[in-house]
Each structure stands twice: as structure tokens, then as C-alpha cells.
Amino acid sequence: MASSSTSSMQKSFKYDVFLSFRGIDTRKNFVDHLYHALQQQGIYTYKDDMRIKKRKRISDELIGSIQDSKFYIIVFSKNYASSPWCLDELVKIMECHKTTQHNVYPVFYDVEPTEVRKQSGAVGEAFAKHEKAEAAEKWSEAMKEAADLAGLELKNTADGHEAKFIQKIVEDISLELHTINFSFDKKLVGIETRVNDFVSSLDLGINDVRMIGIKGMGGAGKTTLARAVFDKISFRFEDKSFVENVREVTNTPLSGLKSLQEQILSDVLNDKDIRVSGVHEGQNILKRRMRGRKVLIALDDVDDIEQLEALAGEHDWFKSGSRIIITTRDEQVLLAHRVTLIHDVNLLSDKEASCLFSRYAFGREIPVQGYQELAEQVVHYASGLPLTIKVLGSLLFGKDKAEWKDALERLKTIPLAKTLKILELSYTALEEDYKEIFLDVACIMKGGTRKDQVIKVLESCGFCAKIGLRVLQLKSLITVDVYRGYEFVSMHDHLREMGMNIVRRLHPKMPKKHSRLWKNDEIEHILANDLGTEETRCIRLYTEKLDPYILIKGLAKMKALRFLYVDMRDCLWNLELDTFSPSFPDTLEYLSFNQYPFTSLPKTFQASNLVTLEMRRSKIILLWEGGERKVLEKLRFLDLSYSKLKTLDLRLVPNLETLTLTGCSDLVEFPDGIWKLESLKSLELDGCKLLEKLSEDLHRLRYLEKLNLSSTSIEYLPESISILKHLKYLQLDRCQSIEKLPEDLGQLKSLEHLSLSSTKIQHLPDSIYMLKHLESLNLDNCTLLEKIPEDLGQLESLEHLTLSYTKIQYLPDSICMLKRLESLKLTNCQLLEKLPEDLGQLESLEQLSLSSTKIKHLPNSICMLKHLKSLELNFILLEELPEDLGQLESLENLTLSSTKIQHLPDSICMLKHLKSLNLGDCWFLEKLPEDLGQLKCLDKLHISYTKIKHFPDSISMLKHLKVLKLHDWASFEMLPEDLSGLRCLKVLLMLSTKIRHLPDSICMLKHLKLLSLAQCWLLEKLPDDIGRLEFLEKLRLHHTKIKYLPDSISMLKHLKVLKLDECQLLEMLPEDLGGLDCLEVLRLSYTKIRNLPDSICMLKHLEYLDLDHCSLLEKLPEDLSGLVCLQVLRLPYTYIRYLPDSICMLKQLRVLNLCECSLLEKLPEDLGELESLEFLNIVGTSVWFIPQGIHNLIVGLHFCGSRRLLHSFGFDVEDEDVNEDKYIYEYEDDYEDQYGYGYEYDDEEEDEML
């Protein structure tokens, strides 16, 4: 079926369906049954029942009925083509399909699609009588086009049973009609994408019972998403029920779970009087009555497993095909109920948040003029939380700027009560120790802290951190994200704000009594005035000015302080402690003092409770001064990174588990007594550049798990290192002196990660095959490494192998035995010429990087890599791909740039999961497979420098394609006529092609945001309906031959950038150009524009207007005052004779370039009113007088003009020559960079468009 976007079907239609059929074949049987089935389903259908008198040609009335129908069902039968009437109907139907994107549904009743397409068989016989008819050609083309559309064939559907066939048609039409008719609340920004993503996870086509959870923090939009999904798909189910506020109702004494059970039964059974005596009976009734019904049930705001057990106990309560949607803040509830499909609700992006806020605050999609900066502050504060955005939008609606500023200032100290009330429900439900953990994370830990660091802090303070963080995560109070292999703990700004508010409100006016302090000014005031109290338990301070003596002294009264974090921020203090120096509180369990200015700890500090001590970038030389030997029995974590430490007596920290001395560049010897640290698990010495050897006693660290020696001067590892039975991580990156490893390295039985990048290793010890737990082996940039051990394949746990930039010439055959290997990186192995023939045995391989090697062919077995997701083959001598490449069923990314391939195997079209295909610089590639459109998941296609002349027609079937890049493709001449199927396309780049015109169907790409036709030298015009690209934001037409812009361009309400540079045949702009409400950049340099339409002054968001070298331009519109956002106006080499006085009203104008406007004799008297002006260039003009008001701007104004002129009006000019042109261009280039509107397209812009 050829479908359309929802937006194309917004007009009102008289009929849902128009039936086109041949009466003598199907009127009294098939069509009659189909008509009544459609009507019974509530689908209003037009069927010609002889009410319209038959003529040789269809009447205007019938044409009107065709145009007034949403859907067309064409029933092709043996005699359909014998009727000129039917064929004229068909032509009109296909015309409507192409021009207005109506849906066409071909049904092949007793003929095959190929008979209709080729007019052969029975269809050919029927059509033969029209061969000489004037309309024969267009009839034939219409049949071909219709036959190419997706439809249904009776003999291949439902085993040829007409009743089932009709049922299938009705189901399909019902689904499509619901999709068209369904619309979301216009205030719900971004909901359509989120709903579609969620619906796809429901797998509605699979006949099983599914429970799906939606989890997220309060106010994030869980209920909104659930309701939107429910509304969108409910028509597919026999019965349905949306149960709101489960948590709240459950806790109501007079109703409770029993009332919710009654609601579900009432909704599903359509019985308002149903009652249950108790929850247990309700469960039994639900189980009994639901089992025979395919239901859709949504349970909103669930917070207890008992609720799910009472309302949706087991899957077998429901009929196959049922779906149960559950929203909750607490993921544990879902896990306990064995819900395996859990969907995280995504907060709004900044762009979506701005749009949503504008709808509530201004009643439009963008902020009104003058409120942009204030609106940005609101959006930043809301941090993507829909609840906050709606509350603030409604609150600020109709308020003036002063009231906005007051409201924003208030939010700095007083959070929104409505938001806090909803968020705090999750906190209230926590147990006491978890509440303390939450408050610690909210108040004293920065966002995006590594999870292991958070655990260290919390454990230092006596909490069960691992389970505590997991509870908070499950309750959506924190998030844990993975970045580059590390887990990071984050918290939404409003949740952090809530935690801080909980601490503050106990003593709202007395910070000294707060349990946690985090505001610098409050802390500095308390410490400087000796106002500390025993209520304070935690402090986080960033300071540049507080005297360290005063700081430590001010802590004296804080007798219960357990956590202290201080960052002196570029502190220049260099102090000595004396016997009278103040001390830290002895209750401290966690002490972190970055840039600590003293050379040791205070003598009076007992440190008996200290678990963690961190003094990064400090002046510390010794732990204790003057021979003090205080033993820190409880200390487990010590970090003195980037300090002045020269030696360290580790006998003072006998129970240390983690020692971090990263970047201690003065450390010349291994820490004394390290062998006594029996509990040591992690030792990090990376960046200790003077460290040349390790202690021979290293092997005595029997519990050591991590050893990082990267960027040291160590020359070798002691043989005894192989005794470290618990060692998991060994990092030797950039150890330039290491040339070999111990021969018995294989004795490290627990080793999981071995990283040797950028070392001088020439070979690996043979024993390496014994590392049975090794998961990662990194040999990147080991430029002397020529081979790897033959037995490498015995590393049975290996998942990641990096050999890039080495001198290896081959891979041992045993590598094919690595059954767990997920990534194999061989980039820039310039001596590598071939791969093992059995490479396909790497059954877990997901990433294979072979770029810049000498590989000429791939082994056929590569097609057996069923889990391969990324295959990188750039810059290699490859001439062909394996014919069975299509068997790589998981492949998502295929890059072939700068290869010698001449064709792509047809099987490539079988790659059902391929998302990105890069064919850049494939000079010998002449064509694409005809079935390219079968790549259903393809979303990025990049083609450049090939011999391909055109696309296969099937490209229009790439319904998920988002980015299509075709540049520097001199052979490419035309696009397929039908592009309407590219319904998701957002970016279309055609740079330097030979294309002469764009197909009209390009105007159907409703989601297109960027269209670039730059340097398409032969392109002379745009389609007249280009204005239908309603979401287009950037249109680049520079260096084309277009002579005019179609009037419809003014309909592009989202267009921000219009580039027409070097369109040397362009003479005029549309009169209503001012209709481009969002236009920010307009570039018209080197065109033949003679004048600008007056409506240009309506472009209230225009920031950049370039008319450079518009040599025929003689004047500007008189009223420029409407260009309230204009910042840059470039008029070099134009023939303007004067500037309108209204230019002085452009309060945002920063750059005015009038260079070489030789006919310009004077500047407006009030030019000094341009309060934002930074740059004025009048070089090469005839200006002889500078208005007095310019003197008001001279501070900060860059003024380029005649030296004599400037001198004569009292401006200082340097005596030496100045390269004005160079200065001008450098200054204006800053604005090019600022606006980001250069000629090149980069990945950052692509991400923005997506």
C-alpha cells in the first residue's frame, strides 16, 4: 500500500474509501461483500452503483468523489482494463496519489500484479482494444504505477478464501485510517517519536501476552506517554481500560485496590454495576473473565508489587495478543513482577523544551521577540522536565519582562512547590539510611561522578553504598550511565534541588545548623566567623580566597563532621604548619582537599576515623611532619596524585586498599614498605615519569587487582609479577622503555585487561595463551610488533583485540578460535595483506576494522559472522565483496570509502539491519543494486566520487532513511521521479552533481530539515511546491543557475538559513519573502538582485544579511526597523547611494560592512544610535563626513576607513600601515564561525538535524 504522512491527510474528506472496480466482474460478488464489510466497520465508502449515468468518460461528479476520498481501493480483475471508464478513474486516482499523496491500495482479484504491470495475459487481452486510443499511453503508465504499489493478491492471501481476504483488506484499511485520523494533542512536543518508539517495542503483530513498564522520575511524562500510546493503539483491542493514579487510589481507605479491580472489570465487560467483595475475589474474577479477551490495560503510577498482583497477576490471566502497560517511578516493582520489557522515559531536548514552553507561555512554537534570553533561562532551569516547563509556562503567560525576571530570580532560592511535591513522593518512601544516601548524593556530590568514587565516599561514611545506590536508581532518583567503560552517577537538577530543599527547610534561616553545606558564600561566612555547629556533617567547598588557616580553624566546632571536600581553586598558598596550627575534626571519615597548601597533615589531627584521604595537586611532601608516625588504621583509600611527594612510608597505612599516585613527577622510587600492604587492591602510578623500576617485593601484594604503570620510565617488569594471582588490570601504555614482557606472564591467571599501547614491545611471550580470563588486549601503536603468538586463539575469554598501527603481516589461524571476540581492530596495519580463511568462525564478532591495510579480498567465510554490526573497509585495495555478504544479518554499519570495488553484490539488499552505508570515493563503482530499497533500516547513505549516474527506483522504499549525502559526484544526473517513500528523510545533500531538476515528489518529504544543492551548476529551478517542505530549516542553493525562487518558498515557516551565494542568474526575490517567520540567515552575495522586496523587513528573526557584490543593488527598503534581530549587514561592492534612516533603529546590529560602496556619500545622522555596533567598514566609499553620534560608539568600535577622514574628525589612527583587508576578513570570519553557516557540512550539523 502506498501510504501518506498524517500531515497530508489533515483536510476533511467526504469519503474514507473510493472503490474502483469493473462491474461485470465483481459488482455482485466480491466488491459487494467488501463494500458491506467496510461499511460495517464504520468506514464510509464510495461505490458507484449506477447512480451516475455512464458516459464514455468519467464525469466531474465522479472526479469530485475521487478527490474527496482518503483511500482508493483498486480491484483489478480480468476485464478491468477493457473499460475506458475504469482506466480514466485509475489515471485520476494515480494523479491524486502523486500530487496529494492519497493512499492507494491495489487488490489483484483474479489477475497477477505482473499482468497489470506489463499488460499481459488476460489484462493484455482486455487492454488490446485500446492500443490506438489517444489515452492508451497514460492508461498503460497508470496501470504500471499502480501495480508497483504494495497491495494484496487473492491467490496468495488467506489461501484464496475471499471472506478472509476481505477481512484482511478491512483490517489493513482500518489500521491506515486510524493512523491518518489519529492526532496528538498539539501541546505535546516530541510525543509522536516517543510513542512510535514505544509502540514498536510492543510488537503488536506477535500473538503473545506482554507486560511493558515505563519508568522515570516524577513529572517526566510517564503518564502522558502511556496515555498517548493507549489512545493510538486501543482500536486494535477488543476491550481496554486505563487505570489512573494507582498509588493514590490504593492508599485511599474507602476505595483501595478493590475499586481499581472493579474499574477494570467495568471497562472491559461494559458493566457499570459490577462489584467485588474483596481483593482476593477480584483477582479470581479478573483471571476468569479476562482469559477470553484480547485486552489493552494501562496501570498508571504503580508503586507496590501488591498492586500488580491484584490487577495484572499473571500473563495467563489474559488472552494472547493482550498488552499491559505499567508506569512507575520504582523499577524494582517491575522486576519483582517479572516484567522484562522496561522503557525509560526520555526527558525533552533543549529544542523540544523550548517549543513546549513557548506553547504554554506564548501560545506559539518559538519565544516572542525580546523574550528569547529569558525563555532560554527557563528552559535551562527545567532541564527537560515537562512538568516544570508546563508549570512555568502557565505561570509566566501574560507577564511582563520585569515579572519574568523576578520569577527567575526567585527560583534560585525557592524551588517550584508543585514540582517538589510530586518529586518528594519518591524520597518519602525511602528507608532512613537510603534517605541519608540520597541527601549526600544530592548535596555534596557533583553531577556525573564516577560510581566507584561515589561508593568510596559513601562507604567511607559507613553506608552500604552498593545496595543504597541501586535502590535510588530503581526508584528513578539517580541514573547510572556508562561512558568509555566507566559507570557515572547522575541526578536530575530538580531532584538535586529537592534534596537541598529538604536539608534547608529544617532551619531555613540558619545555614550553620544545616546537616550539609554546599554553598560557598554560606560556608565561608560560617568558617570565617567561627559559627560552626555539631549539626553539620558534610561540607563541599570551592574557594579561591579563604585563608587555609581560617578554614581549618573554623572547622573546630563541627564535632560531628564526617565528610569534607575542599578545592582551593588555583591556590598560590605555600604554607608551613606549626605546633599551634589548627586541626581537622577527628570525626572525619572522608577528607578530600585539592591543592592542599601545607606540606603535611596537622600534628593535632588524630585521623583515627579517616577512611579516605585525597589531596590531589597538593603541596604535601610527607604525611606527618617532624618524624610523627601516626598510624591510620582505618584508611582504605589514599590519593596524592599530582603532588610534590618524593617518597611515602606506607607502614603508616597498613590497611590501604587503593593507592593512587598518578602524575607524581617527583617520585623517584617505589613507595617504601609497599609489600606490607596486604589488603592493597589498586596501585596507580601512571605519569610518575622518574620511576624507573618496581620493587622486587611487588609479588607480595597478593590481593592486588589493578596495576597502572602507564607513562613511567620503567624498563622491565620483575619476573615475580607473575605470582600476582588476583591481578585483573595491567596497564603499561606509553612505557617507552619497555621492550619485552616476562616470559611467564601467562601465570597471571586472573588477568582480564592488558594494555600495551605505544610501547616498544617487539613480541609477546608465548605463555600469553595461558591467560584464560583475558578479555581485552590492546597493542595499538606498538610499531615494532611484527607478529603475535601462534597460540593466541587459546585466549578463550578474549573479547577485544586491538592491533592497529602495528607491523604484523598476518594473523595466526588460531585467531579463528576466539569464540567470544567482539571487536578486532586492524586499522593501519600497512603490512597486513590477508585474513585467515576461517575468519567466519569468530561467532561473537561485532566490530571488524580493516581500514588502511593491504587487504585485497575478504574470505568468503566472513559472511558467517552473524553478529557482526560494523565492518570498516576504508582505504584498502579491495575490488569486490563476497557475493553472500547479505548473510551478515546483524550488520548495521558498512564503510567502503576509497576502495576499488566495481559493484555491490545483490545480496547486500538482504542486510535487514543495515543503518549506515558509506560509498565515498569509490571511483570504480558504476551502479547500485536494483533492490537497494530492501534495506529497510538504512538511515544514512553517503555516496561521492563514483561513476553512478542514477539511483534505482527502489530507493523510494527506504522509509527509514534520514540522511542522503551525494557530493562531488560529477556523473550523477537525476533523481528518481518518485521520492515520496522517503518519509523520514531529514538531510538531503547533493553537492557538485549534474542534476538539472528536482522531481516534484521531493516536496512530499515532510520531515526534510536540510536541503543542500550547492554547486549543482546545471540546476535552473526548484519545484513550484517547494513550500510544502514544512519543516525545512536550511536551504542551500549557492553556485546554481536558478533564476527565481517559487512563490511557495514563503510557506517555509521553519526555514532558518537560505543561501543563494553565487546564483549569478538570480535577479529577484518573491514579494512575500517576509513570510519566512524563522529566517535567521539570508545570503545573496554575487547575485543580480536589483532590489529587495519590502516584505524583507518583516523578517524579525533575521540575524545575518549578506549582499556582498550585488552590483546591481542601488537601494535598501526604506523601513528596516522590523529587522529587530539583525546583527550583521554586509553591503560591499553594491551601488547603494544612501542608507535609510531606519537603519539606526537596528539595536542589535554589530557589523556594518559598506566596503567599496563607491556611490555612498554620507552616513545617517543618527548612526550613533546603533548601540551594539562593533565593526564599521567604509573603506572605498565616498563618505566625507562622519556623524557626531559615532563618537559615542568609539569605545569598542572597530572603524575601517580613510586615514585622512578619520584624522580630520578626531579619531586616533596608528602611523604604521595596517592590512585592512586581512583585518576585515578575519573579523567577519569570526561571525561565520559563530553562525556556523560555512559551505561545509559536518557531523555536528547532522546530529543537530537528527
Reduced DSSP (H G I as helix, E B as strand, rest coil) percent helix, strand, coil of the chain, to 5 = 35, 15, 55
C-alpha cell recorded at residue 17 = 474509501
Among residues 89, 145, 614, 625, which one is catalytic? 89
> To 10 degrees, what angle do helices 493-504 and 432-444 make?
110
d(CA 62, CA 65): 5
CA-based nearest residue to 708, from 734, 673, 744: 734
User: What's the CA gap between 455 and 464, in Å, rounded?
Assistant: 9
Measured CA to CA, the distance from residue 1092 to residue 1114 in angstroms comes to: 10
Asked if residue 740 lies in contact with residue 762, where contact means CB atoms within 8 angstroms, the answer is yes
The whole-angstrom separation of Cα 905 and Cα 924 is: 14
State the Cα–Cα distance between residues 115 and 146, nearest whole angstrom.
12
For 1103-1141, the DSSP string reads: -EEE-TT-TT-----S--TT-TT--EEE-TT-------G
Any residues with CB less than 8 A from the CB of 488 and at least 6 apart, and which?
A: 448, 449, 450, 451, 480, 481, 482
Task: Classify 159 in phi/psi space as left (phi over 0), alpha (psi -120 to 50) or beta.
Answer: left
Nearby residues of 446 by Cβ (< 8 Å), 6 or more positions away: none
Phi, then psi, of 608 in degrees rounded to 5: -70, -20
Torsion over CA: 155, 156, 157, 160 (sign):
positive
Q: Output the CA torsion 818→822→828→831 (10° steps).
A: 20
**C-alpha to C-alpha distance for 1006 and 1008, rounded to whole angstroms:** 6
d(CA 975, CA 996): 10
Q: Check if the beta carbon of residue 943 is closer than 8 Å to that of residue 966.
A: yes
Q: Which amino acid is at 961?
A: L
Q: In what order do the strands lie in the sheet with 239-243?
A: 239-243, 295-302, 323-328, 210-215, 341-344
Is residue 834 within 8 A of residue 811, CB to CB? The reply is no
Q: What CA–CA distance (Å, rounded) separates 113 from 40?
A: 29
89 is annotated as an active-site residue: yes
What gap in Å lies between CA 359 and CA 377, rounded to an integer?
A: 16
Mapped onto helix, strand or coil, the DSSP state of residue 995 is: coil
Nearest residue to 302 via CA among 272, 326, 325, 282: 326
Total residue count of the chain as it appears in this document: 1250
d(CA 49, CA 222): 50
**Which residues, at least 6 apart from 924, have a Cβ–Cβ distance to it below 8 Å?**
879, 900, 901, 902, 946, 947
Kindly give, in sequence order, each residue whose CB lies less than 8 Å from that of residue 63, ignoring residues fewer than 6 positions away: 92
List all residues 6 or more positions away from 472 whose beta carbon is below 8 Å from its beta carbon.
430, 434, 437, 438, 441, 478
**215: closest CA among 306, 353, 334?**
334
Can you tell me the distance from the alpha carbon of 930 to that of 555, in angstroms, rounded to the nearest whole number?
Answer: 76
Conformation bin of residue 398: beta by default, left when phi > 0, alpha when psi is -120 to 50: left
Q: For residues 1219 and 608, what is the distance between their CA atoms, to the nearest angstrom?
A: 69
Q: Which residues are catalytic?
A: 89
